[in-house]
């Protein structure tokens, strides 16, 4: 069963269980989806007010983009479950000639998924920046909460990716991915700073 098709209680119970998955990567993606939903809601409330008519076109596009990110984050939660289970299976496989290569392929996947989550969350933060700057002021607390949840998901995903990178033997890929993660972290710091400033200015 996919994450999207589970009840909240079912998903939480599956996390709080003696199984390998779902683990931190999947939970981070779901957390990012919650944050994204709040930012999406803020756009919807902005679209519903005539006093914000001058930004309706912009916020309609942002709402659609956020809906796509919300869906994608739930898909990435499922992908993380698969990536972790496949990696675990590769580690437990018989030590034949192809085991090492199989492990490395699955490590790469276990890195790529949380990186994708972090990149998705970073774009959500950019939409949250706009929502706190020009969106409905009645939804500022919701947008701020969504941004904080999304930032937490981003940081958690960076942590997961870096942890899994320690298993990757391709030095070039490790260097490139670490560089990308550093950029994501810096850009998220900047986004959160702008969001905080907007909340203080308009709150």
Q: pLDDT tens digits for the chain (203 residues)?
A: 999 999 999 999 999 999 999 999 999 999 999 999 999 999 999 998 999 999 999 999 999 999 999 999 999 999 999 999 999 999 988 777 688 899 999 999 999 999 999 999 999 999 999 999 999 999 999 999 999 999 999 999 999 999 999 999 999 999 999 999 999 999 999 999 999 999 999 98
Residue 155 included in any domain? yes
Residue 141 confidence (pLDDT): 98
Question: For 120, how many CA atoms within 13 A lie in the half-sphere containing its CB?
Answer: 31
What pLDDT does 118 receive? 99
Tell me if 146 sits within 8 A of 36, measured CB to CB. Answer: yes
Number of domains in the chain: 1
Of 168, 157, 25, 6, nearest to 101 by C-alpha is: 168
Question: Cα separation of 161 and 155, whole Å?
Answer: 10
Provide the residue range defining the domain that includes 84.
22-202
In a domain, 134, yes or no: yes
Q: Is residue 62 part of a domain?
A: yes
Tokens (6 digits) for 108: 């790469």
Q: Does residue 3 form part of some domain?
A: no
CA atoms within 13 A of residue 50's CA, in its CB half-sphere = 0
Q: How far is CA 201 from the centre of its chain?
A: 27
**5 inside domain:** no
Any idea what the CATH number is for the domain that residue 136 is in? 1.20.120.680
Q: Is residue 4 domain-resident? A: no
In a domain, 2, yes or no: no
Residue 14 located in a structural domain: no
Q: Given this model, what pLDDT does residue 93 score?
A: 86
pLDDT at 98: 82
Measure the CA–CA gap between 108 and 193, rounded to whole angstroms.
32
């Amino acid at each position: 069963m996919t994450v999207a098709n589970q009840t909240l209680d079912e998903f939480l119970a599956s996390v709080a269980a003696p199984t390998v998955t779902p683990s931190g990567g999947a939970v981070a993606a779901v957390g990012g989806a919650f944050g994204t939903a709040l930012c999406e809601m803020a756009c919807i409330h902005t679209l519903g007010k005539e006093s914000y008519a001058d930004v309706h076109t912009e916020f309609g596009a942002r709402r659609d983009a956020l809906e796509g990110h919300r869906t994608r984050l739930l898909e990435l939660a499922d992908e993380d479950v698969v990536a972790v289970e496949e990696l675990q299976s590769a580690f437990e496989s018989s030590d034949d000639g192809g085991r090492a290569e199989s492990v490395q392929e699955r490590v790469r996947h276990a890195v790529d998924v949380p990186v994708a989550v972090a990149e998705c969350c970073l774009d959500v933060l950019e939409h949250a920046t706009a929502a706190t700057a020009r969106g409905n002021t009645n939804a500022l607390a919701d947008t701020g909460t969504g941004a904080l949840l999304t930032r937490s998901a981003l940081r958690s995903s960076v942590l997961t990716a870096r942890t899994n990178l320690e298993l990757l033997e391709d030095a070039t890929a490790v260097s490139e991915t670490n560089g990308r993660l550093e950029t994501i972290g810096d850009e998220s710091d900047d986004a959160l700073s702008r969001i905080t400033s907007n909340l203080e200015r308009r709150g």
